[in-house]
Amino acid sequence: MTRSDRASFGARLTDTVAERGPLCVGIDPHPGLLAQWELPDDANGLERFAMTCVDALAGEIAVLKPQSAFFERYGSKGIAVLERVIAESQQAGALVLLDVKRGDIGSTMAAYAAAYLTDGSPLAADAVTLSPFLGFGSLEPAFQAAEKSGRGVFVLALTSNPEASDVQRALNGGRSIAQTVVDGAAERNAGVTPIGGIGLVIGATIGTLGVDLAALNGPVLVPGFGAQGGTMSDIRTLFGKSLRSVLPTSSRDVLKAGPDVFALRSEALRTRDAIVSAAGHH
């Protein structure tokens, strides 16, 4: 599929969420979850875990978010499983957001963009997570590759780990670093309809928002919903009017319902329906 016949990421995300509801489910083959599912901590266990998630979720849930690190642990066999997860999830109609949190400069950033955001790469997802803390502008090669191929990126802005605020809430010329990230995304998304393809990652459990999202015109991925303690009321308090472009993400809370495919799917749909009713989505 070439760029000319793939809609923009913002349009594809909007359509998929309208059809399937606003939920992203992480595919996190954590050693503890493999053990809980009584699977071996090896590439075969990984494959059974990951493909069970795809079978259960890819036909129903809007966005699936494989965590690259849990596949990389197993070397080339793990990466081969990740390639399968991406391809089969997309075939079933889900958007795949690959959680890689890459952040680099120059030709290295361009190489990451080629790996994850360029047609023809076996690891090309619909979107990836990026870290902007070498400077928002250092991500430019990824923004360009994503735009060219109708893909998206989600840039870390306010994460829920306790160490984050030292960097993210630090002031630079009167603006927090997080706000400079928001403003950089807003600038790139300006005028794009229905929304731009540069999203942000903002944790559900950060407490207070402290940034102005009014001009963002892009999606917000909200991890920490469920097992990490984030609730719909936290999300409403944080995002208020921006709620429509918010994509709550749950991993362990849903995945603990496995390994039964039906139980896993039911838990994901229950979570999605709870979000829909709490957010007043239609």
Q: Are 169 and 176 in contact (CB under 8 A)?
A: yes
In DSSP terms, which residues pair with 220 in a beta bridge?
Answer: 200, 246
Active site residue 241: no
Distance CA 204, CA 42 (A): 32
Helices (H) and strands (E) in the chain, counts: 12, 10
17-44 b/e (C-beta count within 10 Å ≥ 16 → b): beebbbbbbbbbbbeebbeebebeeebe
Tokens representing 253 are: 């809370």
What is the separation of C-alpha 109 from the centre of its chain, rounded to a whole number of angstroms? 19
Query: In whole angstroms, what is the distance from residue 61 CA to residue 20 CA?
Result: 6
Q: Where are the alpha helices (DSSP H) in 4-66?
A: 9-20, 31-36, 43-57
The answer to whether the CB of 104 falls within 8 A of the CB of 79 is no
Catalytic residue among 101, 148, 241, 256: 101
CB 139 within 8 A of CB 188: no
- Where residue 173 falls (left for φ over 0; alpha for ψ -120 to 50; beta otherwise) is left
Q: Which residues are catalytic?
A: 101
